[in-house]
């Protein structure tokens, strides 16, 4: 039955929405009630066995099957054809060590950061241009919400119970970028993370928050990167010996850098060598010393001039670089990673690629 055959019944719809709230399934916003025929469409789109286990948290005695993921994706408002992207995003997140441990329960309340590459962006109508961090576009908005509902419902991690976020962050369960490959001067992120250049693939990690760098009045790549180095090196986000970060460049910044000869690796090299603070500056905020567990705290109080680098190296696992947004201003986003990033993209597989021929 298509939705156009019969006039929708708002009272029945509302009763169903309320039913979902009453069960404790909602993240606070209305859910699409999932029916067997709707979920069957999701399962058909992915071609995976419904019983396949795709995530397990032994400490909570909970697991996620393909079917449970499909039910939650349907409830999040995804279309069935988004489901292969949901599964790829989930799989990419499972490559992060923290998602196998206590990440979802953490006081830092980290958000998934999902980056989509390849033809699937256009096929499914992802936004990769203006307003890349949302809202306004169904696949960008509903796919990360599906991840959040899986964590809530299949893992049973609810706020104020097993989820202990102190403040959480704006945009938790709502950050799904599609890379602006058309206006990026560099190869797709997924290509750098191990997939073919034209592949549809998803990269994902956990982030603690984002901070903008607005710099639209210099033509110097070095000045521009120095502004990023300063923002990346802030002490507030720095709690262990090293910290990992990332940048979602707007096309204007990326093109300026590429025009000056910087590829992703050169950007990383520049920032790894310059992002940080002096020991004296860190001492002023009680973070100049690392204990045996690598946790920063106050040191001996001696004011030393040496510079402490924030990034542990120049590898992509510790500085994720993507390009998204409109070509209309020099505004980019520094992202704060919860841990490192796996550095590995996961291909989006349509049903015909999964099912044996």
Partner 1 sequence: MPNAILDPTGRAARAPAPAPGLDLAPRRADLAGARVGLMDNTKHNAALLLSEIGKLLVTEHGATVTVEATKANFAAPAPEDLVERYRQDCDVVLTGVGDCGSCSASAVADGIVFEQAGLPAAVICSDAFVVTADAMAELRGAPGYHYLRTPHPVAVLTTDQVRQRAKQLLPAVVAMLTSAS
Binding residues vs partner 1 (CB under 8 A): 12, 16, 19-20, 23, 25, 33-37, 39, 58-65, 68, 71-72, 75, 101-103, 105-107, 149, 153-154, 156, 160-165, 291, 293, 295, 297
The nearest distance, CB 167 to partner 1, in angstroms, is 12
Angular region, 35: left φ>0, alpha ψ -120 to 50, beta rest: beta
The nearest distance, CB 155 to partner 1, in angstroms, is 9
Q: Considering the complex, state which of residue 107 and residue 303 has its C-beta at the smaller distance from partner 1.
A: 107
Q: Considering the complex, state which of residue 104 and residue 228 has its C-beta at the smaller distance from partner 1.
A: 104
The nearest distance, CB 151 to partner 1, in angstroms, is 11
Q: Considering the complex, state which of residue 59 and residue 303 has its C-beta at the smaller distance from partner 1.
A: 59
Q: Considering the complex, state which of residue 107 and residue 328 has its C-beta at the smaller distance from partner 1.
A: 107
Q: Compute the half-sphere exposure of residue 69: CA atoms within 13 Å on the CB side of its CA.
A: 31
Residue 172 near residue 148, CB atoms below 8 Å: yes
The nearest distance, CB 180 to partner 1, in angstroms, is 33
Helix-, strand-, coil-residue percentages of the chain, each rounded to 5: 35, 20, 45
Q: Considering the complex, state which of residue 292 and residue 352 has its C-beta at the smaller distance from partner 1.
A: 292
Helix (H, G, I), strand (E, B) or coil at 284: helix
Residue 345 near residue 92, CB atoms below 8 Å: yes
The nearest distance, CB 237 to partner 1, in angstroms, is 18
Interatomic CA distance for residues 146 and 162, integer angstroms: 19
What's the Cα-to-Cα distance from 8 to each of 142, 280, 321, rounded to whole Å? 22, 65, 44
Helix (H, G, I), strand (E, B) or coil at 281: helix
Q: Considering the complex, state which of residue 64 and residue 324 has its C-beta at the smaller distance from partner 1.
A: 64
H/E stretch holding 305 reads none
The nearest distance, CB 84 to partner 1, in angstroms, is 19
Q: Compute the half-sphere exposure of residue 202: CA atoms within 13 Å on the CB side of its CA.
A: 29
Q: Considering the complex, state which of residue 16 and residue 95 has its C-beta at the smaller distance from partner 1.
A: 16
Which string of DSSP letters, residue by residue, matches 23-75? TT--SSS--PPP-HHHHHHHHHHHT--TT-EEEEEGGGTEEEEHHHHHHHHHH
The nearest distance, CB 156 to partner 1, in angstroms, is 7
Interatomic CA distance for residues 190 and 193, integer angstroms: 5
Residue 64 near residue 150, CB atoms below 8 Å: yes
The nearest distance, CB 53 to partner 1, in angstroms, is 10
Q: Considering the complex, state which of residue 169 and residue 265 has its C-beta at the smaller distance from partner 1.
A: 169
């Amino acid at each position: 039955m298509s939705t156009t055959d019969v006039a929708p019944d708002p009272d029945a719809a509302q009763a169903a929405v309320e039913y979902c709230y009453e069960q404790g399934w909602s993240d606070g916003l209305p859910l699409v009630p999932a029916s067997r025929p709707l979920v069957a469409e999701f399962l058909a789109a992915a071609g995976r066995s419904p019983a396949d286990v795709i995530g397990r948290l032994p400490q909570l005695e909970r697991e996620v099957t393909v079917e449970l993921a499909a039910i939650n994706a349907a409830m999040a408002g995804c279309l069935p054809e988004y489901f292969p992207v949901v599964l790829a995003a989930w799989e990419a997140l499972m490559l992060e060590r923290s998602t196998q441990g206590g990440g979802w329960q953490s006081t830092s309340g980290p958000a998934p950061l999902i980056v989509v590459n390849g033809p699937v962006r256009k096929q499914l109508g992802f936004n990769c241009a203006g307003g890349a961090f949302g809202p306004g576009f169904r696949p960008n908005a509903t796919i990360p919400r599906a991840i959040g509902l899986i964590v809530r419902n299949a893992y049973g991690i609810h706020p104020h119970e097993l989820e202990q976020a102190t403040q959480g962050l704006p945009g938790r369960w709502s950050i799904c970028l599609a890379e602006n490959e058309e206006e990026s001067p560099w190869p797709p992120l997924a290509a750098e993370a191990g997939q073919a250049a034209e592949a549809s693939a998803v990269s994902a990690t956990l982030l603690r928050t984002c901070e903008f760098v607005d710099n639209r009045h210099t033509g110097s790549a070095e000045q521009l990167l120095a502004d990023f180095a300063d923002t990346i090196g802030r002490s507030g986000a720095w709690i262990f010996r090293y910290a990992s970060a990332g940048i979602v460049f707007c096309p204007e910044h990326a093109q300026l850098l590429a025009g000056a000869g910087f590829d992703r690796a050169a950007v990383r090299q520049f920032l790894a060598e310059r992002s940080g603070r002096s020991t004296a500056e860190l001492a002023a905020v009680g973070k100049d010393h690392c204990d045996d567990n690598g946790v920063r705290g106050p040191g001996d109080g001696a004011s030393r001039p040496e510079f402490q680098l924030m990034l542990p190296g120049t590898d992509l696992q510790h500085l994720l670089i993507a390009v998204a947004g409109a070509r209309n201003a020099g505004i980019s986003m520094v992202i704060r990673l919860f841990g490192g990033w796996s550095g590995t993209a996961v291909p989006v597989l349509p049903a015909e690629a999964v099912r044996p021929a």
